[in-house]
Structure 1
Amino acid sequence: MKTRETACPGYQAALAAHRAVAPERRIDGHRRSCEQQTRAVRALSRQAFPEPEVVQGDGAGLD
């Protein structure tokens, strides 16, 4: 399987050229979208799998 790292030099040059002219606005939009999605997934995860309540005590009776 080819990856960006193992691709031919022509592909790597084309990718670098594309990234050099990619509008920062678009990159920021993608970053914000990813962050928003991550927050939503974490919130749903906390809702579906809540943290167990910690019972404070001296540990007596846990034998």
Structure 2
Amino acid sequence: MAPRRPRRRPVVELYERIVNAVRDNVYPPGSTLPSEPALATAFSVERTPLLVAKYVLPSGAPSITVRQSR
């Protein structure tokens, strides 16, 4: 039997998808990301993992800055 690959947490997968979208210029560096509800829809996730990923992003993706909307 083949060894099982460890399952990654949904938040980690979401984080990687957002970072890849920035790298792939879907969301160009320096631009504003869509709102949380729009991102949740775009990535087909609930807002909860998106909120958690938002706090992980700045530590692992120096090109992404999280700011509160005005």
Q: Output the TM-score relative to the length of structure 2.
A: 0.26
Higher relative contact order (CA closer than 8 Å, sequence separation 6+): 2
Structure 1 or 2: more helix by fraction: 1
TM-score by length of 1: 0.29
